[in-house]
Amino acid sequence: MPVYYPFISCKNKVKLLELYPGDYYEYSSERFKYDEDGRVIVFSSEEEGIKWLVENIKPDKIDPEYNDSSNNSHLWEEFMK
C-alpha cells in the first residue's frame, strides 16, 4: 500500500510523491518536508495529503496536477471565486 509525501519536484513545485515501501531512499532527502521534530511528513491517503497541501503551501507553488482533480474540489473552495 502506498504512502504520500510532500515533495519539491524538479519543476520547483510541491507535489505528493506516491511511494511504496523501500522507494523512499531513491529520492533526495532534502526535497521532502520535515516536521518540527525532524521527521518526514507522510500521509496514508492522497486526500489527506492534498488537504495538507492546500492548508500549508502557497497556491502558486502547488503542482498544477492538483488543480485539475475533480475528487478534491471541496478542498479548493477558498481559492475559487
Domain count, the chain: 1
Region at 62 (left for phi over 0; alpha for psi -120 to 50; beta for the rest): beta
pLDDT at 73: 61
**Residue showing cell 475533480:** 70
| DSSP H or E stretch at residue 47 | helix 46-56
Q: Which domain holds residue 48?
A: 3-79
pLDDT at 65: 81
What does the pLDDT profile of the chain (81 residues) look like in tens digits?
Answer: 899 999 999 889 999 999 998 887 888 889 999 999 999 999 999 999 999 998 999 988 999 887 654 455 656 566 564
pLDDT at 70: 44
Cβ contacts of 59 within 8 Å, gap of 6 or more: 79
Q: How far apart are the first and last CA of the chain?
A: 37
pTM of the model: 0.75
Q: How far is 24 from 21, CA to CA, in rounded Å? A: 7
